[in-house]
């Protein structure tokens, strides 16, 4: 494979020397003699890229970097060696006479792919360094250095990048899927094909990475950790993936707890679990669920499915809901939108709070569009600032189109109770257009009769005027008493600045009764006078008849007795006077 060369130095070379009695060669059974074999691990690159596939390899042992003498008659051959991302592991043994304390170098030849063609020598030769102490435990060995030794356990194919210090591989791995630590103080506790470090040729960073176990997990950020699972990547500094599958914590201090195909790409972002969730905003959080996105700064998706929290500090739960306003909230439900800053949709279905501080607590197809508006129930539309709209179950819109207006549709009636026992209050019945007050006799006490004529007399002293409220235009006129005058006259109500409609109606009704009493008294007096007049009329009629008779008789007498003429006129005048007096008395 002409043109190919091993760019990295030896990743791990542990030359096993004679040990104290009772110790054993790494990988050997306890109590067995120390052997002369050692593990060699390397990485092969072609054209600058790691090579994956199978290769045939030869390893010759020399006593010099260039030229010198080859130890042994021929290089050790290895055929069909599997390379993954360029990495390979072989076991070399040149016998006890090959190592007597002098420096040694490996000359490596490769043929890729395996099975045919010429071998290509790799330059330069690779220096072998001794490990003066090796742990006498099966499957566990150390690589000494001047800073902190590396500890490698598990399969012999597990390896640490050359030059790395303080690395630990607890175990696991196999010939095809070895575990590896590529940077200082990295740790892989176990599992298969796990990597602590970023895998470049510089072992100085990132440092202190950790993979707990699982399969094909990578911790590549400083102090990053992947607890387990499969195909997870903790790529940011201080990033963490607890487990699960195909999860990525790519930003600083980001976290994915578990689940599948989740991504925490924002700084300090968190995805608790679920599937297909993304926390891309700084300090954003997706608690769980599926296909949720928290893209705003400090935004939160509690859970559910296909929800989006894109506003700063926004919060969403439910399904296919969006909180795009700053600090907006969708508590739950389906297809709800809180797009106004600090707006809220509590839940329900297809509701929208687009105004600043607008609220839809729930229901269906409600819109709170105005600032500080409120819409609830069904088909309630609060279009203007400060609108409050309630819609009942009727399948038709009820809207507020004027600022600061209260609109409600309650086709079953409106009831307001003012005590816990529901025994006081008012209501408008279904289809009605006036308030009815609770007035059941059984709900009243301390009942006292009133004098209607006295109420009428007091009412006559209460000034009645025309006026307008200061809160309304001067052209909008009203008529009635002042509350202070009304209270002074009757002492009714809770205070002297309000007039209850119940009290106003009661005073009016009592005054009407007083007028009725006066009318009845007048009628009785008129009837008595009319009866007296009738009797006097009869008396007058009798006197008039007698007068007429006297006058006739007088006329006849004058003709027969001239001497009586002087007397009769005098008698007639007396009778006329009596009639006049009677008529005057009857006319009173």
pLDDT tens for the chain, 588 residues long, are: 333 323 232 322 222 222 222 222 333 334 445 567 787 888 888 888 889 999 999 999 999 999 999 988 789 999 999 998 888 888 888 887 787 778 899 999 999 999 989 999 998 998 886 554 444 445 788 888 889 999 999 998 999 999 999 999 999 999 999 999 999 999 999 999 999 999 998 999 899 999 999 999 999 999 999 999 999 999 999 999 999 999 999 999 999 999 999 999 999 999 999 999 999 999 999 999 999 999 999 999 999 999 999 999 999 999 999 999 999 999 999 999 999 999 999 999 999 999 999 999 999 999 999 999 999 999 999 999 999 999 999 999 999 999 999 999 999 999 999 999 999 999 999 999 999 999 999 999 999 999 999 999 999 999 999 999 999 999 999 999 999 999 999 999 999 999 999 999 999 999 999 999 999 999 999 999 988 888 888 888 888 888 888 888 877 766 655 544 444 455 555 555 555 555 555 444
Among 110, 128, 146, residue at a domain's last position: 128
Q: Are 368 and 355 in contact (CB under 8 A)?
A: yes
Cβ-based neighbours of 221, under 8 Å, separated by 6 or more: 206, 209, 234, 235, 236, 237, 238, 239, 252
Among 379, 413, 430, residue at a domain's last position: 430
CA atoms within 13 A on the CB side of 400: 30
Residue at 324 is within a domain = yes
Residue at 291 is within a domain = no
Supply the CATH number for residue 41's domain. Answer: 2.60.40
Residue at 61 is within a domain = yes
My answer on whether omega of the bond before 367 falls inside 30° of 0, hence cis, is: no
Supply the CATH number for residue 423's domain. Answer: 2.150.10.10
Residue at 373 is within a domain = yes
Number of domains the chain contains? 2
Indicate the helix (H) or strand (E) that contains 509: helix 501-560
Domain, as residue range, for 100? 12-128
Residue at 105 is within a domain = yes
Residue at 485 is within a domain = no
Residue at 36 is within a domain = yes
Residue at 564 is within a domain = no
**Burial class of residue 421, CB neighbours in 10 A (0-12, 13-18, 19+):** exposed
Q: Give, rounded to a whole angstrom, the gap between the first and last alpha carbons of the chain.
A: 151
Among 101, 128, 155, residue at a domain's last position: 128
């Amino acid at each position: 494979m002409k043109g190919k060369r091993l760019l990295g130095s030896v990743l791990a070379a542990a030359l096993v020397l004679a040990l104290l009695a009772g110790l054993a060669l790494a990988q050997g059974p306890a109590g067995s003699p120390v052997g002369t074999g050692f593990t060699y691990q390397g990485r092969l690159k072609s054209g600058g890229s790691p090579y994956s596939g199978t290769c045939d390899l030869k390893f010759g042992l020399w006593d010099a970097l260039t030229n010198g003498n080859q130890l042994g008659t021929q290089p050790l051959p290895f055929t069909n060696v599997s390379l993954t991302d360029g990495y390979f592991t072989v076991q070399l043994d040149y016998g006890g006479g090959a190592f007597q304390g002098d420096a040694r170098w490996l000359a490596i030849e490769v043929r890729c792919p395996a099975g045919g063609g010429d071998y290509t020598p790799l330059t330069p030769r690779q220096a072998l360094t001794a490990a003066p102490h090796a742990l006498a435990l099966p499957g566990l060995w150390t690589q000494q250095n001047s800073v902190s030794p590396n500890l490698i356990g598990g399969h012999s194919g597990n390896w640490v990048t050359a030059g790395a210090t303080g690395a630990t591989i607890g175990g696991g791995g196999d010939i095809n899927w070895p575990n590896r630590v590529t940077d200082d103080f990295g740790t892989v506790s176990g599992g298969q094909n796990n990597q602590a470090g970023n895998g470049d040729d510089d072992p100085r960073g990132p440092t202190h990475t950790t993979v707990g176990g699982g399969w094909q997990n990578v911790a590549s950020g400083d102090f990053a950790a992947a607890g387990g699972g499969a195909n997870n990547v903790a790529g940011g500094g201080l990033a963490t993936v607890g487990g699960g599958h195909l999860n990525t914590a790519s930003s600083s201090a980001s976290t994915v707890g578990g689940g599948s195909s989740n991504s925490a790409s924002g700084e300090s972002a968190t995805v608790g679990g679920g599937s297909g969730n993304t926390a891309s905003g700084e300090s954003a959080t997706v608690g769980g669920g599926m296909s949720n996105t928290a893209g705003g700064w400090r935004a939160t998706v509690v859970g559910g499915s296909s929800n989006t929290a894109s506003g700063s500090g926004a919060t969403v739960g439910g399904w296919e809901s969006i909180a795009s306003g700053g600090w907006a909230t969708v508590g739950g439900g389906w297809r709800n939108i809180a797009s106004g800053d600090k707006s809220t949709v509590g839940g329900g279905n297809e509701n929208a709070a687009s105004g600043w501080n607008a609220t839809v607590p729930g229901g269906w197809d409600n819109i709170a569009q105005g600032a500080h508006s409120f819409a609830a129930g069904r088909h309630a539309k609060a279009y203007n600032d400060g609108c409050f709209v309630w819609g009942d179950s009727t399948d038709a819109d009820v809207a507020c189109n004027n600022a600061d207006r209260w609109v409600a549709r309650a086709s079953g009636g409106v009831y307001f109770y003012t005590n816990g026992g529901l025994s006081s209050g008012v209501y408008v019945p279904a289809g009605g257009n006036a308030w009815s007050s609770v007035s059941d006799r059984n709900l009243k006490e301390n009942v006292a009769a009133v004098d209607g004529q006295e109420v009428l007399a007091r009412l006559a002293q209460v000034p009645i005027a025309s006026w307008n409220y200061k809160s309304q235009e001067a052209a909008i006129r009203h008529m009635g008493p002042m509350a202070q005058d009304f209270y002074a006259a009757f002492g009714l109500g809770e205070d002297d600045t309000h007039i209850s409609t119940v009290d106003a109606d009661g005073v009016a009704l009592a005054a009407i009764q007083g007028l009725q009493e006066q009318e009845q008294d007048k009628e009785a007096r008129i009837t008595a006078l009319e009866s007296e007049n009738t009797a006097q009329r009869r008396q007058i009629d009798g006197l008039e008849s007698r007068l007429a008779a006297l006058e006739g008789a007088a006329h006849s007498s004058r003709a027969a007795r001239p001497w009586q003429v002087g007397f009769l006129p005098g008698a007639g005048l007396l009778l006329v006077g009596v009639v006049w007096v009677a008529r005057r008395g009857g006319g009173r």
